[in-house]
Structures are given as structure tokens and as C-alpha cells.
Amino acid sequence: MINLEPLAARAAQDMVIPTTPKDSLNLINKALMVLAEQGLFAFGLFLNSRKDREDALARQIHAAVSRLLVDASLAATPPNGLAIADYYKALTESRPNEPDAQALQRLILTKQVVETALTYGRYQARSLT
């Protein structure tokens, strides 16, 4: 059994760029809204679509979330060169020999863990502004 709360807290600290906490807060809020309303794949598409100054923040959020999911044994380490959106799309697909019900449980847990980390990230960024 893995305690997911400290893993989510560590991810929250990692996703906030201390020099730009207000920008981090804005992007985390947007990402959390997309995740809650549209799901993991849309979250990945959203992060992948960020340009200019939001690009570095999106990559920071993705790096923190992907480490969290690996540490929580919910995903494998993303291969180098894999697009952010493709990583989250793969999370939504069933694994080989995985029953559909188990895949759905994993997907729901993954979404909840990411939502928790983003919520903590929001508070982390707000504490630095």
C-alpha cells in the first residue's frame, strides 16, 4: 500500500516555479479545470498546447505529475521524445491483459491523484505570491 498524499504534496512543490508563482497559479488553475471537466487526455492536450512563457510552466507541471504517477505505480516512466498529449492518452488506454474494470479503476485513481496534486500545487503557488 502506498500513501499517495505525501507523493502528491511533493509533486505540488515541484510543479510551482518559485520565481513566477502567480503564473504557476494561473496555469495550475486552468489545468485543474480542464482535468476535472474533460479528463486526463484533455489535460495532456492542454499542457501540450501551451506556448511562449506558459510552455516552461506546462513542462514543469507535466514533469511533476509524471514523476508522481511513476512513484505511485500508476504509470511507467515516459520515454524521451514522447509528446505530453501522447503520454496522457496512453494512460487512458487499457494495458495488455488488464480487465476493463481494472483499467477503469486505475484511470479514476490516476485522475484523482493528479487532481489532488494540482490542488496542492494551487495552494503552494498561492503561498508564494
CATH of the domain at 36: 1.10.520
108 touches 34 (CB < 8 A): no
pLDDT at 115: 97
pLDDT digits (tens, 9 = 90+) for 23-82: 999 999 999 999 999 999 999 999 999 998 889 999 999 999 999 999 999 988 888 888
**Residue 68 sits in which domain range?**
4-128
Kindly report the pTM of this predicted structure.
Answer: 0.92
Domain count, the chain: 1
Angle (CA) 13-17-19 rounded to 5° is: 130
Q: Tell me: pLDDT of 1 over 80.
A: no
The C-alpha atoms of residue 40 and residue 123 are separated, in whole angstroms, by 21
54 touches 62 (CB < 8 A): no
- pLDDT bin (cut points 50, 70, 90) of residue 19 is confident
C-alpha cell, 99? 480487465
Cα 53 → chain centroid: 19
